Chains A and B, each alone.
Chain A
């Protein structure tokens, strides 16, 4: 048994723990010729610089806020979708819808972002044309700071819900059909079956994905935001990753980039450990 563990552990040792020493670069002034380990220590200098930037507070708050919105609205969607899809009896319909939900995963944010501009724009965008014809008003989805975050969150859900849906589908496929048969004999309606059998059976998967998501709150979706935002909405949409990227702290400034990364990791780590502990205290297995 322990032998089977060796390849995996070797992988983690070589490609994760061996390079780990590089993290100390955040506390050093990196000197190329001397290398990471022999560069001079500078303590928290890089962290102090980052925290001294007058936009740092704002981008930190935006990061957390956008992440929380994504969590709150985005997390339940794949659960609901996978359960609804699971209740479909017709094989062909089930297969098609399962294929379709995964399709947006193949379209990169660059392409998807371009489509969104076309769809949501004020001049000629379909959504606004429909709104104008029906409600009589238009919404500046992409330029109004009041609505931009909602646009971000819902388009993110649109594009990515299918990915987690597939995970839940796998979990659903593992449920013993005898449970359902028994429930049907007992006269349970579909809705009752969903709440009494399906949900409890995939609770473990839900908890695991939730912990992982909480432990990832400092990542608010760099790629999407980088494609979709612009200076007019920086106030509400600029996150740590985009800001640091834009001001060029990552361009060859390895110590600075490492300091930002480390800060983010520590926050994520704290969240993840807390979430895991909470889950375990409720009798779940957690992720470790």
Chain B
């Protein structure tokens, strides 16, 4: 009992001390170079930065700053938003591109326009020229990174042993694809003697079945055009109706995993490894060798097969949507030296900065071989927190770039050629966007209307609503819950682009 009391007293003393300390505030770190804080979500899977990180030291030498990273865990954009909204402003902040929050930062005057500094920021200026739509009233407030803008790693993926077992080739048309799915369900592809397989499984309804709509002539990743050439939402295009009828027939025949909506990425992949479903829609690229070796752990004869999206009756096809979202890195008005911060950021996005974060310092972390290859010196790299097997420094990804968009793979990556090939195949099916950016009304109402789309899509697919009835309801509800406002913006943006 005494112990409890003593504990209590100690604890109270502590609480008192903490409050007192709080009032005193924290002392500033005194160093010669400019202390620069950067608040970002970063790459949560990366290692912690070490105290004597030579890569960080090199960056600091070159840019003349003392970098203090504030990395938020868990992809915690909420935390970033709260910090900014509370007036806890870092020098640099990375937010979400085209989101309500970053919009507000610009509108409320939290961010410093970069225009005046652009002459000193060659690399940022170059990117801003490509993404000129990010300007608000002629002012550029930050460095945009659009994820999966020109490459993607999503493609329909199946297994070679099943194709052989049912005697089918890799399908190219929609009807061939249907035939393969049928065979996967009816012709006992796993040789179990039971009807225990599905044709295809996937993850989450939005976008997972878009290949059907593109095959029937929906033209763009974001919107469609009607006969008069005016932008309309996908579900008002006749191709959407045909695609929906096609998908519905697959569902009615039992070719689609009846519980695909419960899948997360892991479960989807497991169903595929375990031979419960022949097709899935995974992320490829550097995952190719992992997926295939897991598959072979259960079925040694099997191989991973990815292929182009099935072609519709009039020759259309497509699979992945072109990205519009990503990250937005900006200088805040909390920075005492915005120019310094901007110059730092410019180095960070430059090719030199990129090499430093992926390869390291030449002679210490890597050597160039005579034939132009790279020799990674793993024992030195691990000292500076590089990830294993030629992968990058903790700061490399998640701020202004991701590996896929850079097409980055270390020379040591197993199945490197197939990884690159999978991206080429997937990217060939990437459907372009009508409007390359997210309009204001979409930021405002997008969540609500996507929601309606998702719900009705699923009801039509699983037969709870007829296709025509469902489309009519979707169209009506979609438009009156914000869709009309979105279309106004989209039509205007489309006119401006033309």
Contacts and interface: CB of A to CB of B under 8 A. Distances in A.
Contacts of A55: 451
Size range of the interface on A? 35 or more
Nearest to A6: B12
A27 to B, nearest CB: 17
A147 B266 CA distance: 25
B448 interface: yes
A177 interface: no
Interface in B259-312: 259, 261-262, 264, 266-267, 276
Interface stretch (B79-87, B225-233, B349-357, B375-383): B79-87
Contacts of B267: 114, 117
A32 B262 contact: no
Contact of B108 (A11, A32, A248, A250): A32
A41 to B, nearest CB: 17
B455 interface: yes
Contact of B262 (A33, A121, A247): A121
B447 A7 contact: no
Interface string A244-259: 0011111111100000
A35 B262 contact: no
A252 B110 contact: no
Interface in B74-113: 77-78, 81, 84-85, 87, 99-101, 104-105, 108-110
Contacts of B458: 231-232
Contacts of B258: 122-123, 140, 143
Given A53-B448, A53-B481, A117-B267, A31 B108 contact: yes
Contacts of B77: 251-252
A123 B266 CA distance: 16
Contacts of A230: 261-262
A26 interface: no
A53 B482 CA distance: 10
A30 interface: yes
B406 interface: no
B460 to A, nearest CB: 11
B454 interface: yes
A142 interface: yes
A148 to B, nearest CB: 11
A140 B464 CA distance: 15
Contacts of B448: 53, 247
Contacts of A140: 258
Interface string B423-453: 0000000000000000000000011101100
Contacts of B336: none
- By secondary structure, the B interface counts as helix
Contacts of B81: 251-252, 254
Nearest to B263: A117
Interface string B240-273: 0000000000000000001101101011000000
A60 interface: no
Contacts of B451: 55, 243, 246-247
Contacts of A31: 108
Interface in A227-248: 230-232, 234-235, 243, 246-248
A48 interface: no
A33 B266 CA distance: 43
A124 B259 contact: no
Nearest to B77: A251
B205 interface: yes
Contacts of A143: 258-259, 261-262
A157 B481 CA distance: 36
A186 interface: no
A229 to B, nearest CB: 9
B46 interface: no
Interface in A38-76: 53-55
A184 B307 CA distance: 78
A83 B270 CA distance: 43
A30 B85 contact: yes
Contacts of A114: 264, 266-267
Nearest to B448: A247
B477 A232 contact: no
B462 interface: yes
A31 B104 CA distance: 8
A33 B259 contact: no
B196 interface: yes
B15 interface: yes
A32 B85 contact: yes
9 contacts: A7-B15, A32-B87, A33-B109, A33-B110, A54-B481, A114-B264, A243-B451, A247-B447, A251-B101
Interface of B: 12, 15, 19, 77-78, 81, 84-85, 87, 99-101, 104-105, 108-110, 196, 198, 205, 258-259, 261-262, 264, 266-267, 276, 446-448, 450-451, 454-455, 457-459, 462, 477, 480-481
